[in-house]
Structures are given as structure tokens and as C-alpha cells.
Structure 1
């Protein structure tokens, strides 16, 4: 698995009842092979404000919380770029 350094360009944060903070970020990923990719991520911040990188996954407590963070990023004007939107198609549900 290739590793990457990440530069955070923008961030919105939400705090729940604990001291942990859920962040939605717009970032550039710099990979070992010299390539870069821009994109968004959810990530948790510990009480000391350091990032909790959980192998690329962050537990999102609810869709409502995710939408609130994304909505705030849109309001702030940095979540409206259309990175590769035309390359993605919503898949139909799988049959059981």
C-alpha cells in the first residue's frame, strides 16, 4: 500500500458530547510515487487536536452529522468543486 502525506486546505469541525471532534476536510494527497490527488475526507481529531488516522476510515455517527459538516463547507464556499464528478455513477442496489 502506498503511503501519502496530506495537506489540509480547508476544514469544518463538529464536537459532540466527548472531547473528540469530527472534521470534514478538503485536502491534497502527496503519494510516494510523486503523484497527487485532491479530495475530501472525514477524520477525527483527538482532545489535543492531533489527527486520528484510522487506516483511512473515520466512523461517522450519522448521515445527519455528515450532511451538517458538508453543508457548512458549502456555505463557507470550499466544498463546491466538481472533482471527477463525471467519472462516478451511482450503482443500483444489489439483489439479495
Structure 2
């Protein structure tokens, strides 16, 4: 198991709907070690995260490209690992 601390996030869709998220953050493991990385995860209509044992289903490649574009526009997608 790991705990994930969100440092950056972009989302698809509209508030009040299921929204696919692309996030950058820190994974902290049970042994207290940590790693930084990206993840996709869904937010429920109430804004809470939908944790899953498997991976988040991504409906289309366009969703991925759109999220990458938004993250790049916000300045944290490209080379974020070298900045933080």
C-alpha cells in the first residue's frame, strides 16, 4: 500500500460529473520510503477520489492528450521531476 500526496492536478469534464484526473505527486510507502510520479485517477461527482486496486480506465487517447496539454500549459508536466 502507498499514500499519494497530490502536488499538481488537471481534470477533464465538468463539476458534478465523473472526472478523469492526471496528477503528479509523492507516493509514500509503508516502510516510509517515497517516490515521485504521475498517475491517472477518477474523481466522483462529489469531488472525492475513486481509488481502485487496478488502473484507472481511460476512455480515449484524446483524453490523455488533453490532460497532458493542460498539465503542460500549467507548467508542471514537462521535466517536473527536475523541478521538485
TM-score by length of structure 1 reads: 0.77
For structure 1, list consecutive stretches of 5 or more residues without a partner in the other structure.
84-96
State how far apart, in whole Å, the 2-side matches of 1:65 and 1:9 are: 21
For structure 2, list consecutive stretches of 5 or more residues without a partner in the other structure.
none
Bigger radius of gyration among the two: 1
State how far apart, in whole Å, the 1-side matches of 2:76 and 2:28 are: 20
2:13 to 8, 15, 20: 15
State how far apart, in whole Å, the 2-side matches of 1:75 and 1:11 are: 12
2:28 match: 30
Q: Give the match's secondary structure for 1:15.
A: coil
Q: Once superposed, which parts of structure 1, at least 4 consecutive aligned residues long, lie more than 6 Å away?
A: none
Structure 2 matches for 1:76-91, cutoff 5 A?
A: 76-81=74-79, 83=81
Check if 1:66 corresponds to 2:64: yes
CA RMSD of aligned residues (A): 1.6
Please report how far the alpha carbon of residue 82 of structure 1 lies from its aligned counterpart in structure 2 after TM superposition: 6.4
Please report how far the alpha carbon of residue 54 of structure 1 lies from its aligned counterpart in structure 2 after TM superposition: 1.1
The structure with higher relative contact order (CA 8 Å, sep 6+) is 2
